[in-house]
Structure 1
Amino acid sequence: MNNSLIVVHGASGVQGAPVVRHLLAAGHGVRALTRRRRTTPLDPAVRALPVDLLDTDALARAYREADAVVVQLPLVFDPEVALAQAESVLRALRAGDVRRVVFNSGSTLPPGPVGVPFVDVRVMLAARLAEQVPTVSVVGPAATYMENLIAPWSAPRVRAGELAYPLDAEAPVPWVALDDVAATIVDLLGMASPPALQVVNGPKALVGEEAAAELTAALGHEVRWRTIEPDEYERMLAPHLGNEAAAGIAAAYTPPPPGTPPAPAPDPAVFRTGATTLGDWASRQDWDRA
């Protein structure tokens, strides 16, 4: 699918911007869907369209004549709104006669609903896309994103010497770079028969202190790991994302109730290893301005 026209949801966001960048570098045309009208262009080569996800007709018009659509849902924590947006996307894909979709789930997808709206609606969409579109691939990270560490709720702590995260200190975590997810999406769009699922791993799984050591080497001062509870993470997020979003994200880190059967292990064939190490990623960030 070289030199194809690709519609990208959320093209100006944290998830979408790397996808646009990689698509342009690969020679594709991009029609960028954004939540609001932009005062500055994304790129001279990109046509940006402000579209409400609940406006099915506008979405269908945006999809028409495109060779593929990269679907990315916003973080919405009202279950009714989140479901309505996903249903609108499904209807628009059929109305727009879309033949190929890559769905970037933006997070690790469990095998079924877990009671967290922004997770559950992604599980639903991943399951139902094939009802509307002949060729569908779902892409997601195997673990949390490196970019979360330079977000405004985390970067000041890292600069002060602390990597605080609601993860078990002894659990090996294959931190994932958004650039590696974007590269996977572009590769899938170039395949004649892409796999239905790709899970992007970081190149190395790190326990807490190993992740902190990678940041220590990149920043030039000691960074120590600290495991925090989901409620503390919620308090970190709230001033930057609002109470509803903070509670919704923190809920995704809350352990399941005791006795919950573990999720089945994914087929190893679905995993793809990214090229970006946590240390390399950290060394490229402007921590002083974060």
Structure 2
Amino acid sequence: MTYIVHGATGAQGSPVLSSLAARGASPIAAVRTPDTLPAGTASVAVDLSDADALTGIYRGAKGVFIHLPMGAPADTKAQAAAIATAVTTARPDRVVISTSGQIIDQPGSPLQAPDNSPLMTLIREVTAAGVSTAVVAPRLYLENLLLPVIAGPAREEGVLRYPLPETFPVSWSSHLDVAATVAHLLTDPTITGNVAVGHLPALTGPDLASAFTSHLGRDVHFEAITPDAFGELITPLFGPAAAPVIALYQALNTQDGNVIAEANSAQKLLGLSPRPITQWLSELGV
């Protein structure tokens, strides 16, 4: 029995592929261009909008890891519909969906993903299919701090600039933390529903700066900047894709924090805690 891993060449899927392999599972990378994978990697070419092809890939699978790629809303909507149709028809033993940081467990919050969004539609339709399903719900990714416009000044100037208030608490997590949770949930289907991933207690800007100080061996302090100032930094890197990122931080700045609930946390449900920031920095060789 095999595990299908979507986006296995990307930041989320690649560590899931590695985590499953480390558990002795048989992961198959489901990617658009398999020839970009390392030699010997089991893979299959996929078109996320082709429900018939996805059905063939999912049929007989022990588990499927899904996350919707960033793209035009119409494309993402079509992909969500095709994936849901394929899951409903093929009925793999297990499905694990990552929210990729979208908030799906705070109804009534202005940060909550709309009910008609592709992600919420996907979760709702896959769950309604009666297939064993878990949803992995991280908040902000630590990898955001590795953007050259963030990590560079931290290393060279001793200033960690980020578009959140200094005392704003966040349940940060890394892609490695998310992958560990996904691999656990794929291979142990006893937990269903939402599983939140992130640090508890939540971390503030000075907490992050302290970890950078320890890792870099030089004083690093946190400096809050506005979402618009952040936009000026990332637009040359992201192009038009910077707009929704800026909008996210504008919305976050209207809130008191971005913190997961302990009741449905990976710590509580699975006994899995995120890596300390210093360990994460060391593992990546930053």
User: What is the TM-score when the length of structure 1 is the normalising length?
Assistant: 0.84
CA apart distance, 1:284: 2.9
The 5 Å alignment of 1:27-106 reads: 27-39=24-36, 41-42=37-38, 44=40, 46-76=41-71, 78-106=72-100
Q: Which residue of 1 aligns with 2:265?
A: 271
Mean Cα deviation higher: 22-31 or 248-257? 248-257
Distance (Å, rounded) in 2 between the aligned partners of 1:200 and 1:43: 32
CA apart distance, 1:115: 9.1
Mean Cα deviation higher: 160-169 or 82-91? 160-169
Distance 1:205 1:43, change over 3 A: farther
Of Structure 1 and Structure 2, which has the larger fraction of its residues in helix?
2
Contact kept in structure 1, 2:126 and 2:133, CA below 8 Å: yes
Q: Which residue of 1 aligns with 2:215?
A: 218
Contact kept in structure 2, 1:109 and 1:123, CA below 8 Å: no
Give the residue type in structure 2 aligned to 1:251.
A
Distance 1:67 1:234, change over 3 A: same
CA apart distance, 1:43: 5.9
Distance 1:151 1:33, change over 3 A: farther
CA apart distance, 1:99: 3.2
Contact kept in structure 1, 2:143 and 2:174, CA below 8 Å: yes
Offset from partner CA, 1:121-160 (integer Å, 9 cap, x none): 223322332122421100021x311111113443222222
Offset from partner CA, 1:136-189 (integer Å, 9 cap, x none): 100021x31111111344322222222222222102223212212111112112
Contact kept in structure 2, 1:98 and 1:133, CA below 8 Å: no
The 5 Å alignment of 1:59-208 reads: 59-76=54-71, 78-110=72-104, 111=106, 120-141=117-138, 143-160=139-156, 161-202=158-199, 204-208=201-205
User: What is the TM-score when the length of structure 2 is the normalising length?
Assistant: 0.85
Distance (Å, rounded) in 1 between the aligned partners of 2:25 and 2:203: 35
Distance 1:187 1:230, change over 3 A: same
Q: Which residue of 2 aligns with 1:252?
A: 248
Distance (Å, rounded) in 2 between the aligned partners of 1:198 and 1:178: 15
Contact kept in structure 2, 1:175 and 1:278, CA below 8 Å: no
Task: Tell me the percent identity.
Answer: 31
Give the residue type in structure 2 aligned to 1:207.
T
Unmatched tracts of structure 2, length 5 or more: 268-272
Offset from partner CA, 1:202-237 (integer Å, 9 cap, x none): 254222112101101101122221212222222322
Contact kept in structure 2, 1:59 and 1:92, CA below 8 Å: yes
Distance 1:144 1:43, change over 3 A: farther
Distance (Å, rounded) in 1 between the aligned partners of 2:249 and 2:113: 10
Give the residue type in structure 1 aligned to 2:284.
Q
CA apart distance, 1:255: 2.2
CA apart distance, 1:257: 10
Distance (Å, rounded) in 2 between the aligned partners of 1:239 and 1:168: 24
Distance 1:254 1:126, change over 3 A: farther
Distance 1:178 1:115, change over 3 A: closer
Distance (Å, rounded) in 2 between the aligned partners of 1:271 and 1:229: 30
Mean Cα deviation higher: 124-133 or 50-59? 124-133
Q: Which residue of 1 aligns with 2:280?
A: 281
